[in-house]
Amino acid sequence: MSHQASFLQLQRLLSSYQPYWQLMPFACRELPWQNSSLLAQLNLLSDDAIRQLDSNPTKRQAWFIDCFPELAQLPEVPAFDRLRPMPELPFWLSNGIPGRKVEQIQQFCTLVPDSVAPVLEWCAGKGHLGRMLAFSQQRRVLSLEWQDALCQQGAALAEKHQLPQRFVKADALSAEGLAVLKPEQQVLALHACGELHLQLLRSASQQGCQQLQLVPCCYHLIPEPQYQPLSQLAQQHDLALSQHDLKLAVQSQVTAGARIARLRETEVEWRLAWQALRAELSGDSHYQPLASVSKQIFSTDFRQFAEWAAEQQQVTLPAGLNLDGYLVQGRSHARLVRRIELVRHLFQRPLELWLLFDRALFLEQQGYQVEVGTFCARELTPRNLMLRAERIQR
């Protein structure tokens, strides 16, 4: 199936089921769908069953497949064939890199095509990917990173171990950063976020970079409130995706432990409890989202969180206010939200694929031969979709 056909199949599915995924669960006070078979399936699930299904996409889809039969016909995205064995690494090379990240980088490196073109590592951080590639394939690597401390640490490691890796300190979104892109170049980006990978696609294709190998991440981190499709086909079939909608594409976790999972549940409950409290104090029942905050606050107590939220939204908390009742409301509302999110998450992968094929189609428009596939198993990272593109010689 062509990328265009795959995109249109995803477009039809997402458009057909739009009311089930393009909504704001926190703003719902009841299940928002009049679908008796779906409601019956949800009513059969306990809170524990909800958690189990939400952590297992295969079982989740099987549970709801009679309600959404088209989900069984998603475009197939194959795993890329390895071009070389997994590199064996000395201890010093992987030291300081979390275990899952090490294996992600290793598997990424097995898919880097042989080339005489210089390597550019986009949004490099400390340059872990570039350092592993420089060691395992004896390639010269230029690593672009905007944080000076990370550049210094990465450069020191490369020098210490005599690796052909050099760092450029520059913002990838600035003219200085974009100036490092050259036509005869192999550009690599592992989990480049939002606008950082969008700018790479636009600028690298404009420069005519020879090869691109990209694993996108964090699609919602864009400067505009609404996503601007890249390809002509996606522009014709624009889903009008907000940043909130785009977050759905990355709402799958496989690496979190029990403590992190519990903190996430606490966060939902406290945010919804605050919503009930704010509505009562302000007389405004419309949902008003709060900004992101360090997860540490959810290890404290609800009063401390409420004081922070009140400051954020300029609400005055009465002295001596009893907060227990609002916590009860928050926990009850969270049970509803978890059920709505369970249904929304059925469309996480279709939306992520829609965004990926938008990028693939854009690169094809710019004169590239493009492959779409997975670079590792989902258990290693749910963000396992990769674009590999090579400029067609004219």
Which candidate, 345, 336, 376, places its Cα nearest to that of 45? 336
Q: Which residue has the higher pLDDT, 254 or 39?
A: 39
Q: Taking the model in full, what pTM does it have? A: 0.93
pLDDT averaged over every residue in the chain: 94
Listed residue (191, 160, 169) closest to 98, CA to CA:
191
* CA 378, 110, 161, 197 torsion-angle sign: negative
Residue 33: pLDDT band with limits 50, 70, 90: very high
What DSSP string describes 205-261? HHHT-SEEEEEEE-TT--SSSB----SHHHHHT----BHHHHHHTT---SS--HHHH
3-state secondary structure of 49: helix
For residues 326-336, give the mean pLDDT: 96
Q: What does the pLDDT average to over 286-307?
A: 91
Looking at the chain, the whole-number percentage of residues with pLDDT higher than 70 is 98
Alpha-helix residue ranges (DSSP H) falling in 283-323: 302-312
What is the structure's pLDDT at 62? Answer: 96
Element (H, E) at 85: none
Structure-token pair, residue 307: 């004081």
If pLDDT is split at 50, 70 and 90, which confidence band does 183 have? very high
The Cα 128–Cα 369 span in angstroms is: 28
CB-neighbour burial class of residue 298 (10 A; exposed 0-12, middle 13-18, buried 19+):
buried
Where helices occur in the chain by DSSP H, the ranges are 3-16, 18-21, 36-43, 47-54, 57-64, 91-94, 99-109, 128-137, 148-160, 175-178, 194-207, 232-236, 243-248, 258-282, 302-312, 324-344, 348-365
Digit-coded pLDDT (tens) for 228-264: 999 999 999 999 999 999 999 998 766 556 778 888 8
- pLDDT reported for residue 254: 61
Task: For residue 81, give both structure tokens.
Answer: 């064939």
The Cα-based distances of 23 to 31, 65, 128, 346, 381 in angstroms read 11, 21, 38, 14, 26
